[in-house]
Amino acid sequence: MTSSPRAEATRTRIADAAKAEFAAHGIAGARVDRIAAQARTSKERVYAYFRSKEELYGFVAHRELTVIVQAVPLDPTDLPGYAGRLFDYFLAHPEHYRLISWGRLELETTAAREEADEQANPYRAAMFRKADQIRRAQRAGDLDPRWDPVDVLILIDQLATSWCGQPEFGQLAAQAAKDPSVKARRAAVIQAVHILFPPPATAAPA
């Protein structure tokens, strides 16, 4: 479709409406008619811009991951700080966590898996780039080389997003934690990452 200010405005409205729909219902549960109504356009118009829900999700997820990467850049020489910033970001933007989580689950179990590329599965592409950053830091002596970069990423991600991914533990923390505050949860995440990935000068011998 020929690009024009009006067409781009419609495309942006569709993407904004789709972000909310996908975050709430996932890919399979999202309804194109609801997206169209929220975007103040027609269902046919949505399909004129995006051939399928999977393609629309890919566009939205790529856009949102770009926002996240810019807001929380990876610093492989300060992994505890990176974990803390991830914790802060997803606490402030839980809809982004839900949007990414739906893609992790559904893109691996739908026909999109066979044709997944950087746009259709942007999370995978982003993780490859981050793994390469960690690998380069290890080669430069800025990070313990004994860790596999993939393990570094998954462990930090799980620690930093643990409270977003398991909200049922919020009640447990409120009733049983010595300090039930969000600040204490954040400090625990940072401390855990520091213990796992200390700077090379303080790392324990193999």
The pTM of the full predicted model, rounded to 2 decimals, is 0.78
Token readout for 34 is 């609801």
Give the separation between CA 117 and CA 119, rounded to whole angstroms: 5
pLDDT tens for residues 185-202? Answer: 999 999 999 999 987 665
> Does residue 55 have a pLDDT over 70?
yes
Give the separation between CA 47 and CA 41, rounded to whole angstroms: 11
- Considering just the CA atoms, what is the radius of gyration of the chain in Å? 20
Residue that the structure tokens 């479709």 belong to: 1
> Does residue 47 have a pLDDT over 80?
yes
DSSP the chain: ----HHHHHHHHHHHHHHHHHHHHHHHHH--HHHHHHHTTS-HHHHHHH-SSHHHHHHHHHHHHHHHHHHHS---TT-HHHHHHHHHHHHHH-HHHHHHHHHHHHHTTSSGGGTT--TTTSHHHHHHHHHHHHHHHHHHTTSS-TTS-HHHHHHHHHHHHTHHHH-TTHHHHHHHH-SS-SHHHHHHHHHHHHHHHS--GGGPPP-
pLDDT: is 66 or 196 the higher one? 196
pLDDT: is 115 or 108 the higher one? 108
> Does residue 109 have a pLDDT over 70?
no
pLDDT tens for residues 168-178? Answer: 787 788 888 89
Residue 68: what pLDDT?
Answer: 85
> Does residue 64 have a pLDDT over 90?
no
Token readout for 163 is 């409270």
Distance between start and end Cα atoms, the chain: 58
Count of all residues that appear for the chain in the document: 206
- Average pLDDT across the chain, whole number: 86
> Does residue 52 have a pLDDT over 60?
yes
